[in-house]
Structure formats: structure tokens, C-alpha cells
Amino acid sequence: MGAVAAYQPGTVVVVRGQAPTTPDTEAGISPADPGQQLRYWSMCTNEYRKPYPVTECVYDNQVPLDASGRYTIVTSTAGDRPSNATSADGVAWLDWGSTAQNMVMIARNMLPASGFNQSVFDVAPGAPATSAMGPYAPVTVRCPTTTFEAGGAAACGLP
């Protein structure tokens, strides 16, 4: 699943959602652990031109979660990066990449468990992600860098 955005100086794209459970393979948990919702998930920024070169990605174990298991990912250029877009502040940051191209952010879900019906694979073509994914849908908003610095995702209108 992807979303395209054009660069606007002085702004960030903020993404929030509930993180599906995944095995902590870095701690030695098997990728086939049956107690997880997905094998793996990630968010990547790519240039919006064929063959869609990847700028940067973060995957499940790299993304800080709040006490409710929700993530916040901020995408911007290095110059527009908010001072509080750090893992210490509970935020994963992705580099926008080239400002000469539109950016496409791609959300990937790998191998959902048979009982987990809220992955990107469950979204019907043309339907909003929230229709099938519920709280697991990545919700995206653009806001000024200064607004995010002043109050995080909530100041940008995301719960």
C-alpha cells in the first residue's frame, strides 16, 4: 500500500497507526512464531519514478511504540526534520529523499497469520485502508515542522 506526496518546504508527513505484533527475530524468536499477527512490517520512502528507487526504510523492530502499541513515523528532508523526530522521543524518522521527485511512502505487511484479517492484504482495491485495517491502517497527515516540534503527532491532528 502506498501514498504519494509532493515536497513542501517546512513541512513533515506524519504517519500513525497501531503496530501489528511481529516476532522479535533479533532476540532469537522464530520468524514463524505462531503467536504473531505478521511476520514483518515496514515503511519505506521511495522516489515516485520508475523503478521507484528506495530512499530509506524502517521495519517493525526499529520503530518505537507507545504504551498502547502505536507508532509515529515522520518523513521529511534532513533540513526539515523536527528536533523531536527521534527514537528517544518515540518517533521513527525517514528521509524524504530527492525533492526533485514526488515521494511515495510504501507500507509493507509480510505473511499475515491466518486469523489476522487487518493487514494490507485485506484492503479491497479502491477502498480506504481503514475499512479493512481498522486501527492498523497507517493514517497520514502533513503539517508544519514547527507544529510537530511544538506538540508531536497530536498537534498535527493525529491521535
Each domain of the chain, given as residue ranges in start order, spans: 2-155
> For the domain 2-155, what is the CATH code?
2.60.120
What is the pLDDT at residue 75? Answer: 98
What is the pLDDT at residue 72? Answer: 99
Query: Exposed/middle/buried for 68, CB within 10 Å: 0-12, 13-18, 19+?
Result: exposed
What is the pLDDT at residue 105? Answer: 97
What is the pLDDT at residue 111? Answer: 96
What is the pLDDT at residue 158? Answer: 96
Asked if 2 contacts 140 with a C-beta cutoff of 8 angstroms, the reply is: no
The residues of the chain scoring below 50 in pLDDT are none
pTM: 0.96
